[in-house]
Structure formats: structure tokens, C-alpha cells
Chain A
Amino acid sequence: MNLKTTIATGRRVLWQIRHDRRTIGLLLAVPTGLLILLYFILEGQPRTFQQLGAPLCGLFPFIVMFLVTSIAMLRERTSGTLERLMTMPIAKADVLFGYALAFGLLAALQTAIVCTVGFLALSLEAPHGAWLVALLAIANALLGMALGLFASAFAKTEFQAVQFMPAFVLPQLLLCGLFVDRHEMAGWLHAISWAMPLTYAYEALAKATEPGPLGSAMTWDVIAVIAFTIAALALGALTLRRRTP
């Protein structure tokens, strides 16, 4: 592990995206656009908009970063650049944390825009401060990045990688409690939801966007998100191999 190569990798990933203006535009504008869409769909139902829209501000980065990282990592594998890196004096951790650095920064930008629009213009409420939602959003972005990195090892083509999004992310989104209260789900679904990383991400966001004391429960949710991120990064590191058949 070397700070210089980590930063060089992060900078390299950012430079790659910098050359792709449309991707930057989509990254920054799409979540906010979707939030505005939701605002108009739920016009006249401010309570529902608050319940869905406020946590979504912190969940968008998870979804986007999962997708972006799994494609970026797949390209790194198929272009031969990963193999070249693995023959050079760079630690696997430098590659992983380099990606985390770059996508963490992008997620922060994305979150800043969606939170500004949501909490200032669309009058969503953040009783514990919008900054708390933003911090959770960045943690969720890193969780999405780590899971995307791991998932990319199971994709051989970009077609497969794109479909990991509905396969991995959508079930988590449906089960996390955003759309249906988990206590109203069938017992076995409720049980499955406990094993899903996004459940903890949502729980923390729900507490951060509702009035009342935060309590230690939120701390545990955040710890769970961080633990899932570290586990996914460790599994992701196992898929970066120096020797291949």
C-alpha cells in the first residue's frame, strides 16, 4: 500500500471520466432530475414525497456508483490494463482505494447537487441537518462502489455487467423498506432483508430524515454499512489476481 500510487490511480480514474463529458453530465444531473420528477408525481402528497424523496437523496449515489464501478472495472479487466498493473509495483489496495477516492469524490459532487435541490428547492425536510444525509449518501456511494467492484468479477461482457444492476440492486431496493414497510412483508422476505446491505443504508437514512432522536440504532446501521463495504472490498481484492490460468 502506497499513498502516491493510490492518489495517482484516483487521479487517473477521474481523468478518464473527465474526457467523457456526457458521463459527467449524466452523473450529476440524472439523480436530481429523477427527484424533481418524483416531486411532480407526488404533488399534493407532501408526506409521501418526504418519505420517499428524502431517503432517495442518499440512495441515488449507491445505485449510480454500483453501475459505474462495475463497468469501469470490467473494462480494466478486459482491456488488459489490470493485468499490466498486476505486473507492476502497485498493491491491489492501491487500485481499490484509488477507485474509492475517485468515485467518492464524484459521489460527493452528485450528492451536493441532489441535496441542495431536494432540501432547499423542493422543501424536503432534514430534521438532523442535510449534511447528515449527504454524509450517509457518500458512505452509500462507497458501498455501491465496493459491491460493483466485486460484481464485475462475475461479468464477462458489458451486457452482463449492466444486468447486474436489476439483478443485485433492484431486489435490495424493493426489500429495504423504502416502498413497503419491512414489518408488513412476509416473514421470509423480512428475514432476507436483514442480509441485504441496502437495508441498513435505508434504515440510517430514514432515521436521519425523520424527526425524533437518532439514538444508537442509527450508529449500528452506519457500522453495518461500513462493514458491508469493507467485506465487499476484501472480496473484490480476492478477484484481482496476479496469476491467471
Chain B
Amino acid sequence: MNCQEFWESNPEMHMEGGGAQHGAGGTDSAQHAAECQSCAAQLRRHQALKGGLRTMAAQLRHLEAPARVEAGLLAAYRTQKRVMTGRARRHWWVPVFSWAATAAALIAVAVLLLNPSQPPSPARRPVPGSVELASAGAPDFDANASAETDDDFIPLPNAENLDPDEEVNVVRMEVPRSTMMAVGLPVSADRVSELVEADVMVGADGVARAIRFVDE
């Protein structure tokens, strides 16, 4: 074995522990180290370095990140866990709501298509009262019904029932045409972003209960 072969055979591995030899490569390495003083000296230097590195590693083993890092990370983990839990909670009802809304829209379209004899709504309705905000008695309709009422007010989804004697306000305003979709009315895709005038019936508690479109 020459010097190059000696170093390529990884002599540090073979001769660790004061010359312990492992296998044929170890025997050859030991023989070369015994014959070549230069390689033997260099090997001793490498072994001394390795010993120093081991000692240094052992001395530094106690070196750890301060406790505040753990505390900060734990807080971050808990926050993230809450967010994840929140997301999981939302997940169950989002698809249910989507399917329910889609089903309601399809039913409304089907009702409109199967009932062509229904008289067309007037092109333009008079403004309720002399001012935009007007008080009126509660119209006779069931807020949960999906069909339009006698006044052509359409109950808003999830709106509470109105008491028969409840005072309501009707406000005329412009709403996006997409609002019509929310109550099951057909809207062409290219007009979704347009505004349309509508009368919104607001209960005594200030919550909108029904809507009537002035210009459809």
C-alpha cells in the first residue's frame, strides 16, 4: 500500500482507538503507518483533531435555545390549532349551505318555468309613500314561504316571521342584480353586475325581511 492508497482507505476509521484494526483494509493501513513515518504522524494529527472535535461536541451539548423560544412557539402552535379547529368547524356547514342555496334556486326556476300563466309584474312600481322611508303594516305573508306574496314581496332566505301587527318600513334602494339570484329569480350572467331598484321591507328590529324588485 502506498501513501495515496493509505489515505483513500480512510485510515482514521480503521485505526481508531489506539490502533485497533478492522478487516483487511485495517491491517494494510496499520502496516503502512508502521512503515511510513510521515503518514503515521499525519494520522496522529487527524486523530488528535477528531478527539478535540468530540470533546468540543460533548462540551457544547448543553447549549440550547432559550426557554422563551419554546414559549413563543407553543403560543404560535396553540393559535394555529385554534384556527385549524375553526376551519374544521366551518367546513361542515359550507357545503350544506351551498347545496341548499342551489336547490332553492333550481326550485324557484322550475316554478317560474312551469307556471307561465302568472301575470307579468308591472314594469315599474310606484315609490312607497312620498319619501323613501315609509311605515306600513306587516303584509300578510309567511316569511318562510318561497313563493311571492300578494304584494310581490319575496321573503328573504332565513328571515324571521313577521308578526301580523308588526310595524315595518319599506325602503327603495338600488341593489345588485345578483340579489335576485339569492331569492331564486333567474338572472342572465352578463347582467349580474348591474344595479336594479328594489323595495326592501325592514322589520321593527331593523332587519330586512323581504324584497320586491321594481325593475326586473
A binds B: no
Q: Spell out B's residues near A (CB within 8 Å).
A: none
